[in-house]
Amino acid sequence: RGKRDRLAAAFSLLEDEREAVCRGLAARHLPAWVHFPDVERVEWLNKVLVQAWPYFGTIMEKTFKEVLEPKIRAKSVHLKTCTFTKIHFGEKCPRINGIKAYTKEIDRRQVTLDLQICYIGDCEIHMDISKFNLGVKGVQLYGTLRVILEPLLTDAPFVGAVTLFFMQKPHLEINWAGMSNLLDVPGINVMSDSLIQDFIAARLVLPNRITVPLKKNMNIAHLRFPVPQGVIRVHLLEAENLVQKDNFLGAIRGKSDPYALLRVGTVQYRSKTVSRDLNPIWNETFEFVVHEVPGQDLEVDLYDEDPDKDDFMGSLLIGLVDVMNDRIVDEWFPLSKTTSGHLHLKLEWLSLVNDQEKLHEDKKGLSTAILIVYLDSAFNLPKNHFEYSNGECGAKKIKNNKYLKKMEREPSSFVLLTVGNKTQKSKTCNFSKDPTWGQAFTFFVHSAHSQSLHIEIKDKERDSALGTSVVCLSHLLKDPNMTLDQRFQLDHSSSDSFIKMKLVLRALNVEEPDPQRVKTGVNASKLGPVHVTEKAGNQQKFSSPPQVSKVSPMSKDSAALESLPKKGSGEDLDTKDSSGASVPSETVSGLDEAEGKQNPEHGPPSALPSGAAAVPTLPVLQEMRVAPSVTSLGSLPSSCFELSSSNLDIHNGTEMPLGEIQLTVRYASIRQSLVVLVNGCRNLVPSSNRGVDPYVRIYLLPDRRWTSRKKTSVKKKTLNPQYDEKFEFFASLENVKKRTLDIAVKNSRPFISQERKELGKVHIDLSREDLIKGFAQW
């Protein structure tokens, strides 16, 4: 058996050595430019960093001694002896493994770059505090840093400001030295690293960012706190065929208790746990604010809940660019990093609009608007809650001198912002009566006419309130821009205490998808199929059948035929022409469904894609006795037909003597797969007097392995079979562009039968097609 397995592996390698090598490399941590062609290798920039690194170390050493050290000493009395004894940034400098420049989906007045940063440093920094030596002697950092240059100017310095932030929490590992070696103890090291990661995330991970102005008198408020690009509403519906993780007595496999973790950026939600079910149904809804597209992704991880440690059951990563373009995506997604399982999600992209008519309260209790709070600063805060009470000075005599000195300190204040049942906390500004926070917060609003924003400023040292305020969101509706940018008087505080904020209210709106766009995922099949009815005078009328919301059993795993009626439902998928032949339905993105007329830009549905070869006429075929694709090898797609009998009558009464097949082909960027929807065939040529049992076989050339073959079901005794079946080939868009679809219509015959098996063949050169837009033709 082992010998057979080794031989099978060797033959598989010989069949497609390139794919086997790529599959082996995929599991390794390679630079981004290896996996993604649009990520450019920048070795010249790394050489510049190597040359400049020693000078950078000198600058940082001076900064640590002259700027950072005095700030640490001023933080506390116990840190007054803080001294940096050694600062050395080492010989190893950071590397940039790749840079991706965005040219689409961004403003024309900005330049957006993603830098893949890798730093495995040998830096060494030591610090003495009260005879204790603390230090770091090595740092590892991996992450994607986004750099935005905006606005572009027509005069020097040509760029107004530079904005920096990490798209996700960077991976960080620190090797401690001295007394801080205690932080390397197992269990403590994870906690210490996570605390530092949270510290970085609070300043440098979306939605937080650093903006550095390059031009004098440049207003960077709108750059530091831009309005989010939209909201993604995730309906977590159900899953199926999940892996079994619970074992009894180490051998008997049981069911699992699955739950889902959904994450966009730093925001994470957890679903409920469904007990003992491999096909769980959640029917839960989650909403995420999306700040950067392209860039942010939706991550979904499934786990099996256990008393000790939860087991991983699969994951899913969905790019939000295609969801933003499609507006609504409803399909089954295959789980990765697992052996089986699909997850059913419905994703809705909600745009932020300045329209009060969209603010009607949702009957299902979902959010109808988003409130953006730009927390700027406060003025003249009281030192403590005894100093003022409802605006009047309260006289108190405190005999304890130590407590009196503490009460005389400037407050260390933070702000609690509350809308509904959600409360968010700002950072703390130490020892200041006029604190400046400079932070942005977002809240989901269910009823803008009745909800309010509650503000409370508290002192961290004494945990006492320094002032409160309430802003009714209905006040924003009085402004045409639904915006308030002003100072707000604080209650329970001094008469001249204010807080400065900017409030922006935006309605959530689901826009209608572009009817001209062939959707990613399975949405292309949701627009149709379109009935084609031939009338006299070669006039065609197109009409769209009613959609059926329930997924048919044959396509439950992918929801590809969600809009198609089931068999026996009383709804026909095709109509009859004058000769009684069944005309299969067609999904065409260039049809005006509202008027039922044909879009002249896309031509008739029977038109071939660009570069299509004309099918030889019947007399030529009968004379040559060869496949027509032999005469048109230079132009694809091409039709192929095998003539095995000179007495065979292949007239079918149409202009296409070989018959036709209807296909919908597109590339689903979300799933990273080529989707081929086989709608049906018409006017096939019979191979015998008994009729034919046709089916469709698909290869993605040059891969002709048996395991890679796709095959439809067999339709009995018909020349006009209707399939409506979807197939997927998982590969990158660049790889698919280099390949060819080999589609053959065959007759399912007995093994010993002498009947002709192949009824026709079509080759489609995918390098000549716009696969993102897709096409659907005969």
Q: What is the pLDDT of residues 502-528, one digit of tens each?
A: 999 999 988 876 655 555 443 333 333
Three-class DSSP category at 607: coil
Q: How far, in Å, CA of 565 to CA of 161, rounded?
A: 55
Mean pLDDT in residue range 352-365: 83
CATH topology of domain 230-353: Immunoglobulin-like (2.60.40)
625 vs 740 pLDDT, higher one: 740
Quickly list DSSP for 557-599. TTTTTTTSPPTTSS--SSEE-TTS-EE--B--TTEETTTTEE-
Q: Contact at 8 Å (CB) between 103 and 114?
A: no
For domain 523-777, say whether CATH 2.60.40.150 is its number. yes
Closest C-alpha among 590, 581, 589, 597 to residue 540: 597
Taking 3-state DSSP, the helix, strand and coil percentages for the chain, each rounded to the nearest 5, stand at 20, 40, 45
**Pair of tokens at residue 69:** 């050290």
| Overall CATH class of domain 369-509 | mainly beta
pLDDT in tens, 60-97: 999 988 988 888 888 777 788 888 888 888 889 999 98
Distance CA 398, CA 404 (A): 6
φ, ψ for residue 651 (rounded to 5)? -70, 125
Question: pLDDT tens digits for 677-718?
Answer: 888 888 787 766 667 788 888 888 877 776 677 888 888 878
Which carries the bigger pLDDT value, residue 576 or residue 55? 55
Q: Is 678 strand, coil or helix?
A: strand
154 contact partners, CB below 8 Å, separation of at least 6: none
Task: Check residue 610 and give its pLDDT.
Answer: 39
State the pTM of this model. 0.61
SS3 of 642, please?
coil
Pairing state of beta strands 694-701 and 740-747? antiparallel
- The answer to whether residues 118 and 97 touch, using CB atoms and an 8 Å cutoff, is yes
pLDDT in tens, 197-227: 777 777 788 888 889 999 888 888 788 888 8
pLDDT band, very low/low/confident/very high, at 742 (cuts 50, 70, 90)? confident
pLDDT at 760 over 50: yes
Q: Does residue 259 have a pLDDT over 90?
A: yes
pLDDT at residue 577 greater than cutoff 50: no
Q: If you average pLDDT over residues 149-166, what whole number do you get?
A: 90
Residue 681 bridge partners (DSSP): 661
